[in-house]
Amino acid sequence: MNTIDRRLFLSQLSLAGAVAATAGFGFTTARKADEFIETEINTGKIRGVRSDGVNVFKGVPYGGKISGDRRFRRPAPLQPWTGVRDATQFGAPAIQAPRRNEPAPSEDCLFLNVWTPANDNKKRPVMFYSHGGGFVGGSGASQAQDGSNLARNFDVVVVQTNHRLGLLGFLYLDEIAGADYAGSGNMGMLDIADGLKWVNQNIAQFGGDPNNVMIFGESGGGAKTSCLYTMPAAAPYFNKASIESGPGVRMTTKETAAETTAMLLKELNIAPKDWKKLLDIPAADLLAMQAKLPFVPPFIEKNNSREAKQRNAGGFGPVVDGVVLPQHPFDPVAPEISKDKPLLVGWNEDEYTFFAWERKDTESFKMDFEGLKKKLEPRYGENTDKLIEAYRKANPNASAPDVFVAISSISMMGLGSVTIAERKVKQGGAPVYLYNFGYKSEKKIPGTDYAMGTPHAMDISFKFNNEIPPRDGSAPKESFFGGNNPDRFVASHHFAELWTTFAKTGKPAAKDVPEWPAYNLKDRPTMRIDTKCEVINNRFAQELAMWRSLGKV
Q: Does residue 219 carry a catalytic annotation?
A: yes
Using alpha carbons, select from 104, 43, 108, 103 the residue that is nearest to residue 75: 108
Residue-wise burial string across 345-364, b where 16 or more C-beta atoms lie within 10 A, e elsewhere = bbbbbbbbbbbbbbeebeeb
Three-state DSSP at 130 gives: strand
Answer positive or negative: Cα dihedral of 227, 229, 231, 236.
Answer: positive
Alpha carbon distance 412, 379 (integer Å): 13
Q: Give the other-Cβ count within 10 Å of 374's Cβ.
A: 12
Cβ atoms of 240 and 196 closer than 8 Å: no
Alpha carbon distance 150, 170 (integer Å): 32
State which amino acid sits at residue 102. E
The catalytically annotated residue of 51, 130, 219, 411 is 219
CB-hemisphere CA count at 13 Å for 68? Answer: 4
Using alpha carbons, select from 171, 442, 190, 420 the residue that is nearest to residue 293: 171
Alpha carbon distance 552, 100 (integer Å): 39
Cβ atoms of 184 and 173 closer than 8 Å: yes
Cβ-Cβ contacts under 8 Å for 121 (sequence gap 6 or more): 204, 207
Alpha carbon distance 483, 394 (integer Å): 29
Q: Tell me whether residue 507 is exposed, middle or buried, using C-beta atoms within 10 angstroms of its C-beta: 0 to 12, 13 to 18, 19 or more.
A: middle
Alpha carbon distance 338, 223 (integer Å): 16
Catalytic (active-site) positions? 219
